[in-house]
Structure 1
Amino acid sequence: MSSLADRQAALVAALTSGAPVPAGFDGRMVEIARVALLRKRAGEVAGQWPALSAALGTDWLREWSAWAETRPTNGSLRDGWDFARDLLSRDALPREAGAELASREAALRYDGKTSPRARRLPAIRSAAGTVALQILGRVRVLYRN
């Protein structure tokens, strides 16, 4: 028999990372809770990344859920950033969301593993046809395709 901590960790993994439902839990109820948590995460990410969620429109929840269902959360800012980068890598980032990603990339350093940190030096970044420039902490969108 496993410890309570092991059972709790297995349940959390089933709810957030797509792991199998642990023995002794109702699979249907775990699935209902998992979907509710994905919807909650989608709403939180949409609050941090409004242009991205608006650009995806009615596809937002479906696209987000497909991407997030096997990934535990890193917080809504980082989750949205990772999702936007994934869309960009697949050439699926909507142009309307390009300025949002390019501006974040210019203003902050984010390696995909640790929390984003403010850039100290000037930076120029592009995403989905948009170019953003950061100098002295101010970000300007220079070009939108």
Structure 2
Amino acid sequence: MTGGSLAARQAELVAALVAGGPLPPGFAPAPVEAARRALLRKRAGDVARHWPLLAAGLGADWPATFAGWAAGRPTNGSLRDGWDLARELRGRGALPPLGAEELASREATTRYDGRTPPRARRLPALTRAGGAVVLQLAGRVRLLRPARR
């Protein structure tokens, strides 16, 4: 086996584990599936540490909600994964109130376009998510109106 083919097989395995890629030939499906599920659980825990209110708002549904969203996506890092999930849930009308307040607070303090890394805002910002209204002025964040409960 040459180095190039080993690298290609490793890339196929990584894609199967973390990005929803097909199972490469020569690998047993059960152990790869078990490893994939374990990596999704670990990833959900990492995202929950960056987005604790989103995870708490979803409660017992957090692991399944995150796994369903993340199963076919490679990670962009825990902060961005949580942000992208929160925005998708907002778009579907499924963002819990705590998650809406957390998303509005993040978007008041930080710019994130979904493609490039988040950057701190320098100018005042007023943001809304799920009924929550947040104002960022002079580096201070104020929840003006909580999300609908």
TM-score, length of structure 2 as denominator length = 0.94
For 1:128, the aligned partner's letter is: G
Q: Work out the CA distance in 1 between the residues paired with 2:115 and 2:18.
A: 18
What aligned pairs does 1:31-70 form with structure 2 within 5 A after superposition? 31-70=33-72
After superposition, where does 1:15-26 map in structure 2 within 5 Å? 15-26=17-28
* Alpha-carbon separation, structure 2, partners of 1:32 and 1:41: 14
Task: Read off the aligned partner of 1:114 and give its amino acid letter.
Answer: T
C-alpha offsets along residues 47-92 of structure 1, whole Å, 9 cap, x if unaligned? 1111111111111100110000001011110000000000000010
Q: Distance in 1 between matches of 2:56 and 2:131?
A: 17
Of 101, 109, 112, the residue aligned with 1:110 is 112
* 2: CA distance, partners of 1:110 / 1:32: 33
- Matched with 2:16 is 14
SS at structure 1 position matched to 2:145: strand
Give the distance between the partners of 2:101 and 2:16, measured in 1 at CA.
35
Q: Take 1:8 and 1:138, find their aligned partners in 2: how far apart are those partners? A: 47
Tell me the distance in 1 between the aligned counterparts of 2:109 and 2:83: 13
- Structure 1 stretches of 5 or more lacking a match? none
Report SS of the residue matched to 2:143: strand
> Which residue in 1 is equivalent to 2:80?
78
SS of the aligned residue for 1:133 comes to strand
Identity of aligned residues (%): 62
CA offset at residue 102 of structure 1?
0.1
Helix, strand or coil: the match of 2:25?
coil
Distance in 1 of aligned mates of 2:138 and 2:7: 47
Amino acid at match of 1:31: E
Displacement of 1:96 after TM fit? Answer: 2.0
